[in-house]
Structure 1
Amino acid sequence: MARHPRESSDQHLVAKGLSATSVAALFLLLRVFAVTDYDWNAAFSLAGTLGLDDVVVMVLGTLMASPVLGGIALAILLPEALIHQIRLGRPSWTNAGNLIWLLIVALFTGALIWTYRTWWVLVVAAVLAVVLFMLLRAGKRDPEGSRLAHWFVSSSALIVTLAALVLAATVQTPWVSLEEIQTRNGLVRGYVVENPPGYLKVLLDDEREIVIVDTADVTGREEIAPRP
């Protein structure tokens, strides 16, 4: 018996939702292990503080935590989004999603370069853009390269997903700022991963262990900016 079009559409939406949830769960798992230096006990302690609703903040924090790795990711994403937008043609409602994505990537790139003077990001992005343009125009002269370039500029979702998962597994800096916490018992240097009433759950910077700090003992907190 043939399926009703609405039933097929609903199943497709459910499948996409499950896929997105699976990717979010994998990203969360990779981040928990990466920031704890793949220590099982520390990862177990940290996992209890997180949920799928934290993934968006974690993605942004991961991209911004390591200027070098973030710069590499942006140097790849910027030319891909730019060329894809050029191929889509004049901005319109039908390609507004890609245009917004391009503006977001450009904003992150501009902010990173302005903060850390990482001009190499623009150089790498420009070289990659030139290579992609040449491959796209190669046609019959280089069919394999042309197909690869066409796939690259039309696979934004896959590339973004892979980049996010690679960063999740390799960036050991957590998605929150490094802090020096002055307490009555001495200095605690780490990342506050949970801040409920009465205590702080801190991931130590060096040992990558979870410690509990009573807020009554805290005499001062200072954020430390990440190094380029």
Structure 2
Amino acid sequence: MGETTETDTGGGTTEESDGGHVWSAGITAAGAALMFILLRLMAVTHYDWRTAFGLADAIDFGDAITIVVGTFLGAELFTLWLLAFFLPLSAAGHLRHFRQGRRSPGSLLVVLALTVVFAAAVLSFSAWPALVAALVWLAFLVAVDLREGPVRVFVHRLLARIGILAMGAVMLGAALVDEVWVPEERIEMGDEVLHAYVVQNGSQFLTVLTADTREKRILLSSKVTSRTEA
């Protein structure tokens, strides 16, 4: 009886622990997405509380991924140097695992994906200094990893915390980048021409954020005669 009770209790504890980890991960992801969107609302409205509050009802909180992608594609300079820092870190971490005999296809896919995006950014904006900086940074990380010493210990700690660093960088970008996650448009309404970002495209109205003053406006779709990217 006693042994059976201990086994049942232990099994229950394991299941509860696994469930707790899943629950904790879900809460963390949801909290991070909510924090990112909140910071984006503040940044694009130049930290005007009332405008951010008015813009919140036009945001679909299920489109967090779209907002993330749009944010970093719109902020090309910030994203370029962010990749120049994190791509070599990811590549150095993958090489270290490979030398230790630990193959990681997932890590390789991440490195390849980041490489493609970084190459596209470098070619699109002729950002050769960023490419040189990334190569020098990668060479430094690989050289340090081949030698014993305190710098190697520091780099290993850095590689072990790359996920936390990436999350911090994403949140920093959300807070500092004032580029809206959708392209700026030139909207014509009769004699009025408005440069704005369309954050909600309804059947009868458009919710926009003006490009110059960062004010929320609601426009009747029937009065809009032309919409083109600025």
Report the TM-score, using the length of structure 2 for normalisation.
0.89
Partner of 2:108: 99
- 1:135 pairs with 2:141: no
Please give the alpha-carbon distance, in whole angstroms, between the structure 2 residues aligned to 1:210 and 1:176: 15
What amino acid does structure 2 have at the position aligned with 1:169?
Answer: A
One of 80, 83, 88 as aligned partner of 1:74: 83
What amino acid does structure 2 have at the position aligned with 1:179?
Answer: E
Give unmatched runs, 5+ long, in structure 2. Answer: 1-8
Query: 1:156 and 1:97, CA in 2 relative to 1: closer, same or farther beyond 3 A?
Result: farther
Partner of 2:180: 174
Instruction: Show the 5 A alignment for 1:28-67.
Output: 28-67=37-76
Contact 2:75 2:179 survives alignment (8 Å): yes
The count of residues paired between Structure 1 and Structure 2 equals 220
Please give the alpha-carbon distance, in whole angstroms, between the structure 1 residues aligned to 2:98 and 2:142: 15
Please give the alpha-carbon distance, in whole angstroms, between the structure 2 residues aligned to 1:100 and 1:126: 19
Partner of 1:190: 196
Please give the alpha-carbon distance, in whole angstroms, between the structure 2 residues aligned to 1:110 and 1:209: 36
- 1:222 pairs with 2:214: no
- 1:156 pairs with 2:162: yes
Q: CA offsets, 1:1-31, max 9 Å, x none?
A: 6553122101111001111111111111111
Q: CA RMSD in A?
A: 1.9
Partner of 2:5: none
Report the TM-score, using the length of structure 1 for normalisation.
0.90
- The 3-state SS of whatever aligns with 1:182 is strand
Partner of 2:21: 12
Per-residue deviation, 1:156: 2.9
Please give the alpha-carbon distance, in whole angstroms, between the structure 2 residues aligned to 1:111 and 1:223: 22
Which consecutive aligned stretches of 4+ in structure 1 deviate over 6 angstroms post-superposition?
none
- 1:24 pairs with 2:33: yes
What amino acid does structure 1 have at the position aligned with 2:207?
Answer: K
Q: CA offsets, 1:76-96, max 9 Å, x none?
A: 111011111212228x99622
User: Identity percentage over the alignment?
Assistant: 30
Please give the alpha-carbon distance, in whole angstroms, between the structure 2 residues aligned to 1:176 and 1:100: 28
Partner of 2:153: 147
